[in-house]
């Protein structure tokens, strides 16, 4: 299972942004690479690494911080 930092690094690679640049307040509007194709890859990453299946709450997270909170509530990063 990935740590929170490993997950952030993977997401930054997925969104094609510099490592360490993703903030909890970032949204689809502030990250150019966070688009529908990246959503599919992101959901696949979550399912593969944490065994958490895609659901509306994850897919509809408004910010990166929302996504992290949802994953933590489902036992990721433990």
Per-residue pLDDT of the chain (78 residues; tens, 9 = 90+): 899 999 999 999 999 999 999 999 999 999 999 988 888 999 999 999 999 988 888 888 999 999 999 999 999 996
CB 1 within 8 A of CB 47: no
Q: What is the distance, to the nearest Å, from the Cα of residue 59 to the centroid of all Cα atoms in its chain?
A: 9
Q: Give the sign of the dihedral formed by CA 18, CA 23, CA 24, CA 26.
A: negative
CB 33 within 8 A of CB 14: yes
CATH number given to 4-73: 1.10.1200.10
- Length of the chain counted residue by residue: 78
């Amino acid at each position: 299972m990935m740590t929170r930092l490993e997950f952030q690094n993977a997401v930054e690679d997925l969104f094609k942004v510099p490592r360490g640049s993703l903030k909890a307040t970032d949204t689809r509007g502030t990250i150019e690479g966070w688009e529908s194709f990246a959503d599919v890859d992101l959901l696949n990453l979550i399912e593969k690494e944490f065994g958490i299946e895609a659901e509306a709450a994850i897919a509809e997270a408004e910010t990166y911080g929302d996504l992290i909170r949802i994953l933590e509530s489902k036992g990721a990063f433990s």
